[in-house]
Amino acid sequence: MELFWYTMIAIVLAVFFILDGYDFGTGIIHLFFAEKEKDKEVIAKAAGLFWDSNEVWLVAAGGLLFMAFPTFYASVFSGFYLPLIIVLWFIIFRAIGLELRSQFNFQMWKDIWDKSFGVSSLLLTLFFGIALGNVIRGVNLGGVENGVSAYEAHYFFLPLWNSSFSPAGIHPGVIDWFTIVIGIIAVVTLSIHGANWIILKTESSINEKLKSVVLKLNIALLLLTIFSISIWHIIKPEPFSNFTDNPLLIIFPMIYLSGLVGTFFIKKFKKAVYAFTCSSLIILGGITSSLASMFPVILPSTNSVNESLTIYNTATSEYGLNVAFGWGIVGFILLIVYFIVQKRFMGGKIDKMDYGH
């Protein structure tokens, strides 16, 4: 049952980053490329009509973590308390930026909330990437100092950064050069995804320009991917051991690679949905490849005193997992029905749909 719930949570998280990922990317594109008021309005609408329904998947993921892996939930929500509060503020300012920009027809008012939407989207994407970098790198579980744990083995606390800004020490910070690299990869990936969403859902005057932007960003993503793979061994000895031990797992990097290669053909695609599918594959492949490289570990320990957190030593009782199975089916059915209905109502181009007036 541990493996089942781990798989379900991974699916929910992947869906969240595909769906809300285009919202984040739309905000980044809005910040740097939208110049005409008409484009700003329609691009904001491309995110505003969907962001609240997309974030339902984040709530679902948090609930499932609490239910299936309470020790892991308690560990990360206490250890990452400071960055989680920062993420919460970014989510709030993204939302109010979208909801308030069109309430008054004054340019200064719109400019303030446009910046709120764009900057919050950019920093939120960066912090989500940094969070993934922390999970890959690991943390000092138990707060070990001189071989002695300062507190329980599954708890930790991280400063925003340490004096060395290095991921290699026993006392890493949330932000170091490795997690920044992963954060930048997240920003580039979701910018591509957001641009593809704008092209798919709007008739914005910058759509053709965005295709060229996507190509340039895809080249940057390819280079960043090669660089991150080359430095991975610094963070984790034998980082590809799971793939060599179980060759079937290679399907996840292949998903990522197929999306990355496919995006290079964005100008040749006859339908915008093909490009959006490619960027979705990049996100799906990136998340699943990261999880597959660590399995069954879900939070590595940077010390040798306390063992890493896995899906087995953080799971609730077998009875709890079995009872949750029936209720989980009901919850997933409601979630999927909600998703289908919302997408059916918002099908096609959204330029003439009403939002924020």
Would you state the pLDDT for residue 24?
Answer: 93
Q: Per-residue DSSP letters for 230-296? A: HHHHHHSSSTTHHHHH-GGGGHHHHHHHHHHHHHTTTTT-SSHHHHHHHHHHHHHHHHHHHHHHHTT
Q: Is residue 295 part of a domain?
A: yes
Could you tell me the pLDDT band of residue 356, with boundaries at 50, 70 and 90? low
Q: Is residue 355 part of a domain?
A: no
Q: Is residue 164 part of a domain?
A: yes
Q: Is residue 142 part of a domain?
A: yes
What does DSSP assign to residue 141? T
pLDDT score of 189 more than 90: yes
Number of structural domains in the chain: 1
Q: Taking residues 81-86, what's their average pLDDT?
A: 88
pLDDT score of 357 more than 60: no
Q: Is residue 356 part of a domain?
A: no
Q: Is residue 215 part of a domain?
A: yes
Domain coverage including residue 203: 2-345
pLDDT tens digit sequence for 133-166: 999 888 888 888 877 877 888 888 888 888 778 8
d(CA 139, CA 158): 8
pLDDT score of 182 more than 90: yes
- Per the prediction, the chain carries an average pLDDT of 88
Q: Is residue 354 part of a domain?
A: no
Is the omega angle on the peptide bond into residue 296 within 30 degrees of 0, that is, cis? Answer: yes
Q: Taking residues 35-47, what's their average pLDDT?
A: 87
Q: Is residue 352 part of a domain?
A: no
pLDDT score of 221 more than 70: yes
Percent of the chain with pLDDT over 90: 39
